[in-house]
Amino acid sequence: MTDLLTHLRTRRSVPAANLGAPGPDSETLTDMLTIAARVPDHGKLAPWRFILFEGDARLAFGAALADLVKRRDREASEEFLQRERDRFASAPLVVGVVSCAGPHPKIPEWEQILSAGAVCLNLVHAAYGHGFAAQWLTEWYAYDPEVLAMLGLEPHEQMAGFVQIGTADSVPTDRARPTLAGLITNWDPAARAGE
């Protein structure tokens, strides 16, 4: 468990632009998705699903984003459009995690959404556990109705994120982390009783 604690203390997202080949093979990907799906899931609803972007599908998605941007803004620069084309070009694998949360007689929708977020983070951990690096992103296209329709999402579904996975070309420096002292309070029942 020491290795797990070291990973949790030091994990750092690698920017998608710094991820390259190789990516996970089919068997490794299956294991990573199995690990990702092992999250708290009140009611065993599995309120999430996966969309895989591999090979040429990554480039086709970027081309579709650039086409959409150009249709909306004919003045968009070629540099800007190329940035959209390259969205999924670096990492050899991108896993879209879809939140399928919806009304349920016993399980609050918020709990279902949190479960999808846990899937994203578990997938990041699974990638690192298999010797890869990852970055969990959303960006504008995770919220755009036309893109969501292009991805086949139902009206009640949302993108929890896109997890880009590959081999890091460098080790990123750490970033500033929150100071816990300002984030922790102790509940005091006596103080509440006097209100």
Is 11 a known ligand-binding residue?
Answer: yes
Is 153 a known ligand-binding residue?
Answer: no
Q: Give the tokens for residue 34.
A: 């199995």
Which of 136, 156, 48 has the alpha carbon at shortest distance from 91? 136
Is 13 a known ligand-binding residue?
Answer: yes
Is 136 a known ligand-binding residue?
Answer: yes
Tell me how far CA of residue 118 lies from CA of 39, 86, 127, in angstroms: 6, 27, 14
Is 38 a known ligand-binding residue?
Answer: yes
The helix (run of H) or strand (run of E) holding residue 119 is helix 109-129
Euclidean distance between CA atoms 19 and 89, whole angstroms: 9
Mapped onto helix, strand or coil, the DSSP state of residue 195 is coil
Is 6 a known ligand-binding residue?
Answer: no
Is 7 a known ligand-binding residue?
Answer: no
Euclidean distance between CA atoms 21 and 54, whole angstroms: 12
DSSP secondary structure letters along 21-61:
S----HHHHHHHHHHHT-S--TTS---EEEEEEETHHHHHH
> 82-100 burial by CB neighbour count: b if 16+ within 10 A, else e?
eebbbbbbbbbbbbbbbbb
Binding-site residue numbers for FMN are: 11-13, 38, 42, 136-138
Q: Which residue ranges make up the annotated binding site?
A: 11-13, 38, 42, 136-138
